[in-house]
Amino acid sequence: MADWAPIAKEYDPLKAGSIDGTDEEPHDRAIWRAMLARYVPNKGVTGDPHLTLFVARLNLQTTEEKLREVFSRYGDIRKIRLVRDLVTGFSKGYAFIEYKEERALLKAHRDANRLVIDQHEIFVDFELERTLKGWIPRRLGGGFGGKKESGQLRFGGRDRPFRKPINLPNMKNDFYGEGSSEKRNWSREGTRDWRTRDRDHERGRDKRWPERERSWAWGDSERERDSKEERSRGRERKDRDR
């Protein structure tokens, strides 16, 4: 934690996929692929990397002329390199645009992101392949990714700074000791005892219901018999009186 910084000076896939840059175990297979990758940047690329913009998610039909028409509104362009397949010559959907001035670069980075070109919403970011040591592209599991609050850290966002780590207070050594575990076990057993007793009570009540019904039925028959006897006695009295 002593050497922690909000912005990484060297690319580490494990830290790039972390909210605060302190992860010690990879949380997805992409990070494993990036950690095992042996990527070597293209040494044939020329130009100033600090004045170069990375443009991705392009329509495969978009040409260099269309890119120059759109991005020249932010400043003077020195060079455009649309990456194409070596065999077919078709566009791979991303390009690098080098400006003459840093002011134009910053303006394009701020305003051109999520711009729609040829029915495609583009993604704009600074070039990192030659500016960040150890950089690994997304196709090999690297790259940066979305908003860190979402948990989807490696899916094409522009979040650079790590969130500041949360310093938890130091707990006592016996906080998770035997005493607390015994207490937890006792409470769980107590919960089980209560549940068992409740179930036994419910079962006993179910058993008592037929007995109550029988007793109520017996009580009704007794009342009817008593009322019949009283009626018969009343008739005998009337006969005597006559």
pLDDT at 65 over 90: yes
Tell me the whole-structure pTM to 2 decimals: 0.63
- With beta carbons less than 8 A apart as the criterion, state whether 31 and 23 touch: no
Tell me how far CA of residue 17 lies from CA of 14, 40, 201, in angstroms.
6, 21, 54
Domain ranges of the chain: 1-38+134-162, 44-132
Q: What tens digit of pLDDT does each residue of 105-152 get?
A: 999 999 999 999 999 999 999 998 999 898 888 888 888 766 666 656
19 pLDDT band (50/70/90 cuts)?
confident
Sign of CA dihedral 29, 30, 32, 33: positive
Q: What percent of the chain has pLDDT over 70?
A: 66
At residue 76, does pLDDT exceed 50? yes
Q: Which of 63, 54, 99, 66 is nearest to 84 (CA)?
A: 63
Pick the CATH number of 44-132 from 3.30.70.330, 3.30.565.10, 3.30.2350.10, 2.40.280.10: 3.30.70.330
Highest mean predicted confidence (pLDDT) among 134-143, 166-175, 193-202: 134-143
